[in-house]
Amino acid sequence: MVTMTDQFALLRDGGQVLIRPFQLEDRDAVKALFGRISPDSRVLRFHTGGTVVDLVTSGHVLVALRGATLIALASYARLRDPAAAEMAIVVDDAEQGRGIGTALFERLSEDARREGITSFLAEVLAANGNMLRLLQGMGFQLKRTAHGGELEVAVQPRADVGYAARADTRRHVAAIASLEPIFHPRVVAVVGASRRPGSIGHALFHNLLKGGFAGTVYPVNPHASSIGSVHAYPSVAAIPEPVDLAVIVVPSRGALAAAKESLEAGARGLSDHGRVR
């Protein structure tokens, strides 16, 4: 269940993640996250190849989820100066480059400002280009101090003009990318495709097949093995490739459940009887 403290964040590739506070029951999922990232990634982020689960789950902690899978974490812990905090971010290796760390840092900064924190401190290895680019790209004021192969980066998470401009640009890019699978889908699932002539599910599926659509169309119907000589699937989750657009053509009483199942299966856009959602 999504709560008042949970937020969906659009990413630069048009996808989205759920960002919410860490819960004690997330601990095993955090361990699994650290089990998936490579030893090199652990060294770059935490300067050690060992486990740091206790370290990153203390203080103020946020997690990012794709579906039910925890794929990223961001945290800060106050220092002796109550207005300063040390921060850390870790993103699953397979999810790098999508803007998840940036989305987490934006939310982390908002929370920090509400709690009176005016400075983040990050110890970053000079070889950790991804983290340095993330910090530089946020639009916050930075101060870097070199210590051998490490950089001590002090970040002032103020929502000033520079930050607001960068944030607006990020959201604009993400919003445009999120519409791409709706207006230019490559893979469409017709949820409720039917073998019965005269039904909406029958007409819509056959119109897509015969209307010159250049992508792939999958019929979804748990009660049919094929629709119009095309292999049918019992659910969107059973389709063997990612779905850009799921067109929902089931009776209204089942539409909400069908939409929820489609999104949980990874569909990036929804259309209800031809109306975009």
In the predicted model, is pLDDT for residue 275 greater than 50? no
What tens digit of pLDDT does each residue of 142-192 get?
888 877 777 788 888 888 887 788 888 888 887 787 788 888 899 999 999
Residue 2 within any structural domain of the chain: no
Query: Do both 212 and 176 map to the same domain?
Result: no
Confirm if 185 and 214 have CB atoms less than 8 A apart.
no
Same domain, 258 and 171: no
Instruction: Return the CATH number at 101.
Output: 3.40.630.30
Nearest-5° Cα angle at 35, 34 to 37: 65
Q: Is residue 49 scored above 70 in pLDDT? A: no
**Given this model, what pLDDT does residue 273 score?**
60
Confidence grade of residue 51 (pLDDT, cut at 50, 70, 90): low
pTM for the predicted model, two decimal places? 0.69
Mean pLDDT of the chain: 85
CA nearest 156: which of 132, 137, 139, 131? 139
Same domain, 156 and 131: yes
In a domain, residue 1? The reply is no
pLDDT band of residue 115 (cuts 50, 70, 90) is very high
Boundaries of domain holding 240: 185-276
Q: Which of 180, 204, 223 is the last residue of a domain?
A: 180
| Direct distance between the N- and C-terminal alpha carbons of the chain, in angstroms, rounded to an integer | 21
pLDDT at 139: 80
* End-of-domain residue from the set 148, 180, 212: 180
What's the pLDDT tens digit per position in 196-227?
A: 988 989 999 999 888 888 899 999 999 999 99
Q: How many domains does the chain have?
A: 2
Query: For residue 17, is it left (φ>0), alpha (ψ between -120 and 50) or beta?
Result: beta
**Predicted confidence band of residue 249 (pLDDT cuts 50, 70, 90):** very high
Residue where a domain stops, chosen among 149, 180, 211? 180
Say if residue 174 is in the same domain as residue 203: no
